[in-house]
Amino acid sequence: MPVPFIHPDRRMNQGGALDAYDDELPMLNTAGVRAFVCLLNILSDAPVYEPAGFSFICLPVPNAARQLRLDVPKTGWRAVHAICSGESGFSLMVVFVSTR
């Protein structure tokens, strides 16, 4: 699964209701996704996901990090998918779903 398609207007307008744009957020919500964790230093993504009803946390990984350990507190969420991409760098998104 590639990184979810977020409509450019959702980003430009810094968010919107779940069904406000023709992108993949409604489908992900229907599939049970309720939160996103960004491991890049992109704090500006919080207003993109949160108004659509998703939780969002930014846990940036330092440049040149060779190992990564993501400790998730027992919150009722579990990681179900990780996306890693980048030609010369490192990028990763972890998708969580509720176990409740």
- The rounded Cα 87 to chain-centroid distance in angstroms is 20
CA–CA dist 18, 52 (Å, integer):
4
Instruction: Kindly report the three-state secondary structure assignment for every residue of 33-95.
Output: EEEEEECCCCHHHHHHHHHHCCEEEECCCCCCCCCCCCCCCCCCEEEEEEEEECCCCCEEEEE
Domain ranges for the chain, please list them.
8-98
Over residues 73-97, mean pLDDT? 55
Q: pTM for the complete prediction?
A: 0.66
User: For 9-33, how does the pLDDT look when each residue is reduced to its tens digit (9 = 90+)?
Assistant: 999 999 999 999 999 999 999 988 8
Contact 72, 50 (CB under 8 A): no
**What is the DSSP code (8-state) at residue 97?**
E
